């Protein structure tokens, strides 16, 4: 046991080296229990969709909240991975876990290529470069042969986990999706609270100072970009297995916008904000689906109100109020 383990909890002055704060651990534990019983309460496919988007938003938050980089093209990794995973399952006949890995890797490689070019630019130019490349991915998905154009890739078989355990039923698939997304979210938490994450925070807070200490900041930015893209890919690949579908919606620019919305609404740079933001947005879309185009309008209104009322996002405001990082 190290010295910091036995230090008393004194909220914000508490050194960040004491492992996961008890409060975070408690919230994660409650969340896990709730998710474990959730399929008995709500339609499992809906719950799986929420989990995939929560992971997507958490991945995006890693880049924006901790890397200080606003990507406006994260649909490319989410959707790109979704296409690759769907193709892997349907055409190559891979089992779900391998398809998900394939999609995630593809998103990581795509992130490496796009990130290497984008991080040379700052601020709005960075956002524009990421958007431009995401549009290229979109047009590729529209034109290429294996992506199925307007139809996307449909009726993707769910197969069997490790080729042994069938996950055809929603209930069986649910626990795979829970493991993947929850594990992904915990891993993102670890990244933020790693030595690497500490350097990221330093770069975000004072880049020239980090450089003067000898940090090659562009390598850190590229690394966080690739990590964020990979986890966005993990989310997209998993979603393709849930819906047995990869479609143009996943790579559309509005998907890039949605993840920005979820993250800002919940609280950028917080641990739980993106998860809440994703839950709110997905739930809203679900219940308002019958209203067609109005969903977009209502979503816009909520976003504007949310940003005006809670500048730091819902969880950001609560965290300030409790004087504890959430």
Partner 1 sequence: MDAVLKAEGLTKEFKGFVAVNKVDLTVERGSIHALIGPNGAGKTTCFNLLTKFLQPTRGTITYDGRDITRMAPADIARLGMVRSFQISAVFPDLSVLQNVRVALQRKRGDSYDFWRSERGLTQFDDEARAHIDAVGLSEFTDTRAGELSYGRKRALEIATTLALDPAMLLLDEPMAGMGQEDVERTSALIKRIAANRTILMVEHNLKVVADLSDKITVLARGEILAEGDYDTVSKSPDVIDAYIGAGHD
Which residues of this chain interact with partner 1, rule CB under 8 A? Answer: 2-4, 12-19, 190-191, 193-199, 201-202, 205-206, 208-217, 219-220, 223, 227
Closest separation between CB of residue 315 and partner 1, Å?
17
Tokens 């297995």 belong to: 241
Rounded CA separation 62/225 (Å) = 9
Of 71, 56, 57, the C-alpha closest to 133 is: 71
- Given the complex with partner 1, which of 159 and 325 has the nearer CB atom? 325
- Given the complex with partner 1, which of 109 and 217 has the nearer CB atom? 217
Q: For Cα atoms 154, 157, 158, give the angle at the middle one, nearest 5 degrees.
A: 125
- Given the complex with partner 1, which of 16 and 305 has the nearer CB atom? 16
Rounded CA separation 171/221 (Å) = 39
- Given the complex with partner 1, which of 206 and 254 has the nearer CB atom? 206
Closest separation between CB of residue 130 and partner 1, Å?
21
Token pair belonging to 297: 């309008």
**Residue 70: what are its φ and ψ, rounded to 5°?**
-95, 105
Closest separation between CB of residue 300 and partner 1, Å?
32
Closest separation between CB of residue 232 and partner 1, Å?
16
Rounded CA separation 82/102 (Å) = 10
- Given the complex with partner 1, which of 6 and 37 has the nearer CB atom? 6
Closest separation between CB of residue 219 and partner 1, Å?
8
Closest separation between CB of residue 15 and partner 1, Å?
6
Cα–chain-centroid distance for residue 257? Answer: 13
Rounded CA separation 202/262 (Å) = 25
> Are 12 and 324 a contacting pair, CB within 8 Å?
yes
- Given the complex with partner 1, which of 23 and 202 has the nearer CB atom? 202
- Given the complex with partner 1, which of 36 and 211 has the nearer CB atom? 211
Enumerate the H helices of the chain as residue ranges: 22-37, 44-61, 75-90, 96-118, 123-143, 170-192, 195-205, 207-212, 217-243, 248-251, 253-266, 273-288, 294-309, 313-322
Closest separation between CB of residue 212 and partner 1, Å?
5
């Amino acid at each position: 046991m190290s010295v910091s383990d036995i230090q008393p909890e004194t909220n914000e002055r508490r050194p960040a080296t004491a492992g996961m704060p008890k409060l975070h651990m408690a919230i994660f534990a409650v969340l896990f229990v709730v998710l474990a019983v959730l399929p008995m309460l709500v339609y499992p496919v809906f719950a799986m969709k929420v989990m995939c988007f929560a992971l997507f938003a958490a991945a995006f938050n890693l880049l924006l909240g901790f890397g200080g980089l606003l990507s406006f093209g994260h649909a490319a990794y989410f959707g790109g991975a979704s296409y690759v995973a769907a193709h892997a399952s349907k055409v190559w006949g891979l089992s779900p876990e391998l398809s998900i890995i394939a999609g995630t890797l593809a998103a990581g490689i795509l992130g490496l290529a796009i990130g290497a070019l984008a991080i040379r630019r700052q601020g709005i130019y960075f956002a524009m470069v990421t958007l431009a490349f995401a549009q290229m991915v979109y047009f590729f998905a529209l034109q290429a042969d294996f992506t199925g154009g307007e139809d996307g890739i449909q009726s993707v078989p769910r197969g069997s986990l490790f080729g042994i355990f069938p996950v055809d039923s929603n209930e069986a698939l649910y626990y795979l999706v829970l493991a993947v997304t929850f594990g992904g979210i915990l891993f993102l938490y670890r990244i933020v609270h790693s030595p690497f994450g500490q350097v990221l925070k330093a770069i975000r807070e004072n880049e020239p100072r980090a450089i003067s200490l000898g940090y090659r900041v562009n390598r850190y930015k590229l690394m966080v970009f690739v990590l964020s893209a990979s986890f966005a890919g993990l989310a997209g690949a998993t979603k393709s297995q849930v819906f047995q579908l990869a479609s143009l919606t996943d790579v559309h620019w509005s998907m890039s916008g949605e993840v920005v919305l979820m993250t800002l609404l919940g609280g950028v740079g917080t641990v739980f904000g993106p998860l809440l933001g994703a839950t709110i947005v997905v739930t809203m879309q679900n219940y308002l689906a019958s209203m067609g185009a109005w969903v977009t309008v209502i979503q816009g209104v909520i976003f504007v109100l949310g940003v005006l009322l809670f500048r730091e996002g819902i969880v950001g405001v609560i965290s300030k109020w409790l004087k504890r990082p959430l």
